[in-house]
Structure 1
């Protein structure tokens, strides 16, 4: 990833929209180590019928301070992913952007993203995880 840049664009340049996204959530048991080369056990879930803030809320609740999480947008019926938050915790890349993403994932264990009450996942939606 390159350094962040912000560019104003014409909103009419959008060619298509999709209003039923599928988000893939990765919950990784990476332990307390700062060593990004340590493999992480990963539980993976697809979330539909929610927006990104609700998915972040759900992922943070599942991670509960001990695990990291990453969220991707699923494209092309599951064959492609666009990382939205975090990255693959099992990546062995030494690229600065990848290392920075993993560092920020670990930091969110103790400093979670603030989600307003109105944007939280409904409390009865807990998923079918077996943990």
Structure 2
């Protein structure tokens, strides 16, 4: 089992914050490993801006439906390292691994297809938001 640690901290212990973020959503489906269903496979990737993480979670869940998995990452641009991802929900389903922590994450990704996260009405993504054509 994963070792989870929660520590109390001083809320002033941060040197910066941003009011808006870019989230990367992976919607994946159709993968199996050794005959066992797995997250991953075909992948559709989206960048979402102008929303908070609950709205992104709601949209990703609806986009994936009951047959695909989803994962959400925070996109961070570092001056020396370039663009990177911080996983907030799930992981890249195509990262096959035997690490116990990663297997648990993948199992939870699969379970969310039939037992989705409940997002309150006030935090849902507006239904009129549409995906723009390929941005490159």
TM-score by length of 2: 0.86
Contact 1:25–1:72 under 8 Å retained in 2: yes
The 5 Å alignment of 1:1-131 reads 2-30=2-30, 34-36=36-38, 40-76=41-77, 79-128=83-132
1:30/1:68 contact within 8 Å kept = no
More strand by share: 2
* Structure 1 range deviating more: 55-64 or 23-32: 23-32
- Paired residues, number: 129
Deviation at 1:31, TM superposition (A): 5.2
Q: Deviations over 1:81-107 (max 9, x none)?
A: 000000110112111111111100000
TM-score by length of 1: 0.89
- Tell me, in whole angstroms, the C-alpha distance in 2 between the residues paired with 1:71 and 1:88: 9
Q: RMSD of the TM alignment (CA)?
A: 2.2
Check 1:71–1:39 CA distance in 2 against 1; reply closer, same or farther (3 A cut): closer
